């Protein structure tokens, strides 16, 4: 759907690293367009639209594993710079005649490197710096034409380069924040080695995308599943800019939404923006579908199935619509499937509209599927969407259904919604509230004994979850001031009848996910 700029791009071949998307982000942060492709892409395919440079990502495999991901050797003969990172380095050396061995001592975490020959990749960097290592294998002998560029105590080839062929490789990860001068190394590769220009930005992206939407949709109409979250809201204003009144928005009230969500969405999109908005009030249908379902994935699937059913009924009203728009963004794509871009593992299901009945033959439009959340917000700001929506914290598609552990009932939803309102009200008072990625309440399926007014209580436990993140791929728990936690706890216990205990979740992602289910 999105046309990539023809003038320049950096291609990242995905070998399954948890940091692959982070590499793409780091390149984009330098205002250079980046694109992730499967490692199976051929040199010939790349030659047809030659990139300015190629990056081989890290990955969980060993080059010695049976069926380990490989690379077309012709990629190293395209004449464009190539940077291998971690597994990408080992694969480069293995392919070009070097030797890779299992390390006697695995390196993981912060390590100091010393720049030896250095070269273009390390231009302007100090002789010593801290980097983030993560490897079990290491290069023992480098291919002909390469030279050591940096070393660590346990790794004589922490970085290598063949300046003549413009081939570079790093045993460490420059894309993570733990690498002291990682952004500078990436910038050197982009600008000094690849000759890129810093001319890609969200204004460019919007112009390209709106033009692409108009060309794709033509004079036809589009139906959009509007959730009221940042992503679908930005899709709505983007499509409104592209095709105007030929956009029809469907908002499904599944009974699992935030407090006053329906009224808020109607006020913004129908009253203020003048969009064609249709609200399907279907709470009882969802409660019935969730009756007796306790498994997290089972709940997601039940909510997804019912959502599709309700959405399909509404969509049939628009007989001239040929396109279905969704607010899918890049982390959704990564977490929802074993991506065709490389080896990955399904973490949990997302319920964007899929599996529609045969009579609804829509062509899918997902204009945000290559953007990260902060980039989506940037697009929204440029398009003039109110900060009330742009600065909203992410909300899961299945809603409160995945914040109630165990069976979901209407009474539990009411309880959790009341608790969550108190969390939101107190968190918004913090001076750094906008820097917090997500904060919310979770209703646990266990009850405990308490005492209120000299009387015994036996009520539910509520967990508070708050995390800081950039793109939801990784997250760390928020260090909320004790006074704020105390106020939240006191308000929930005293004001929400049915909860007598509050706990705080201090798990990071990974190993935990942001949502509990």
Q: Is-catalytic flag, 175?
A: yes
User: Following DSSP, what letter does each residue of 202-238 receive, concatenated?
Assistant: HHHHHHHHHHHHHHHHTT-EEEEE--SSHHHHHHHHH
- What is the SS3 assignment for 115? strand
Could you give the CA distance from residue 517 to residue 515 in angstroms, rounded to a whole number? Answer: 5
Using only C-alpha atoms, what is the Rg of the chain?
25
- Which of these, 111, 103, 163, 95, lies nearest to 139 by C-alpha position? 103
**Which of 173, 248, 350, 351 does the annotation list as catalytic?**
173
Instruction: Give yes or no: 249 in active site.
Output: no
End-to-end CA distance of the chain: 31
Compute the Cα dihedral for 302, 438, 206, 15 and give only its sign: negative
- Reference 5, options 200, 136, 173; nearest CA is 200
Cα–Cα distance measured from residue 440 to residue 454, given in angstroms and rounded to the nearest whole number: 30
For residue 152, the SS3 value is strand
d(CA 475, CA 469): 5
Rounded alpha-carbon distances, angstroms, from residue 453 to 279, 457, 487, 495, 503: 44, 10, 19, 14, 21
**What are the backbone dihedrals phi and psi of residue 369, each rounded to the nearest 5 degrees, phi first?**
-65, -15
* Ordered DSSP codes for 437-496: SEEEEEEEEEEEEEEETTEEEEEEEEEEEEEE-SSSSSBEE----HHHHHHHHHHHHHHS
Alpha helix (H) ranges present in 18-167? Answer: 20-29, 43-47, 87-95
Whole-angstrom distance, CA of residue 441 vs CA of residue 419: 6
Give dist(CA 463, CA 479) in Å, integer.
Answer: 15
Active site residue 321: no
Pairwise CA distance, residues 220 & 246, whole Å: 7
Select which of 175, 180, 459, 515 is catalytic: 175
Catalytic residues: 86, 173, 175
């Amino acid at each position: 759907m999105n046309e990539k700029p023809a003038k320049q791009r950096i291609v990242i071949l995905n070998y399954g690293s948890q940091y692959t998307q982070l590499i793409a982000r780091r390149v984009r942060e330098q205002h250079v367009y980046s694109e992730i492709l499967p490692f199976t892409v051929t040199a010939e395919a790349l030659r047809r639209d030659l990139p300015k440079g190629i990056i081989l990502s890290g990955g969980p495999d060993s080059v010695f594993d049976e069926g380990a991901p490989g690379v077309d050797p012709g990629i190293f003969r395209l004449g464009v710079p190539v940077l291998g990172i971690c597994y990408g380095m080992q694969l480069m050396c293995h392919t070009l005649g070097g030797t890779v061995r299992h390390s006697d001592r695995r390196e993981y975490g912060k390590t100091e490197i010393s720049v030896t020959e250095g070269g273009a990749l390390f231009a302007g960097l100090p002789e010593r710096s801290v980097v983030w290592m993560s490897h079990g294998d290491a290069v023992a002998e480098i291919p002909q034409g390469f030279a050591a560029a940096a070393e660590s105590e346990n790794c004589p080839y922490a970085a290598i380069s063949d300046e003549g062929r413009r081939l570079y490789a790093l045993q460490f990860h420059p894309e993570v924040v733990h690498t002291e001068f990682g952004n500078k190394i990436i910038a050197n590769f982009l600008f000094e080695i690849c000759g890129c220009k810093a001319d890609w930005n969200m204004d460019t992206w919007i112009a390209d995308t709106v033009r692409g939407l108009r060309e794709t949709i033509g004079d036809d109409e589009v139906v959009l599943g509007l959730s009221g979250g940042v992503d679908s809201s930005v899709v709505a204003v983007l499509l409104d800019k592209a095709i105007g009144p030929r956009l029809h928005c469907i908002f499904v009230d599944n009974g699992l939404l935030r407090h006053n969500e329906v009224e808020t969405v109607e006020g913004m999109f129908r009253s203020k923006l003048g969009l064609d908005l249709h609200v399907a009030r279907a709470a009882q249908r969802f409660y019935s579908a969730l009756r007796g379902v306790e498994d997290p994935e089972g709940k997601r699937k039940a909510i997804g199935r019912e959502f599709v059913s309700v959405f399909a009924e509404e969509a049939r009203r628009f007989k001239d619509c040929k396109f279905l728009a969704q607010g899918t963004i890049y982390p959704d794509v990564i977490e929802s499937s074993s991506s065709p871009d490389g080896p990955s593992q399904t973490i949990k299901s997302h319920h964007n509209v899929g599996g529609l009945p045969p009579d609804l033959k829509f062509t899918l439009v997902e204009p945000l599927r290559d953007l990260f959340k902060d980039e989506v917000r940037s697009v929204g700001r440029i398009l003039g969407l109110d900060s009330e929506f742009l600065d909203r914290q992410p909300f899961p598609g299945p809603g409160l259904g995945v914040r109630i552990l165990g069976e979901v009932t209407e009474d539990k939803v009411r309880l959790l919604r009341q608790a969550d309102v108190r969390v939101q009200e107190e968190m918004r008072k913090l001076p750094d509230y906008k820097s917090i990625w997500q904060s919310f309440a979770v209703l646990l399926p266990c009850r405990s004994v308490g005492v209120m007014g000299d009387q015994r209580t036996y009520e539910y436990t509520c967990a508070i979850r708050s995390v800081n993140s950039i793109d939801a791929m990784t997250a760390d728990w928020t260090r909320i001031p004790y006074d704020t936690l105390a106020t939240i706890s006191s308000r929930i216990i005293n004001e929400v009848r049915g909860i007598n205990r509050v706990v705080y979740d201090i798990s990071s992602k990974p190993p935990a996910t942001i949502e509990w289910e």
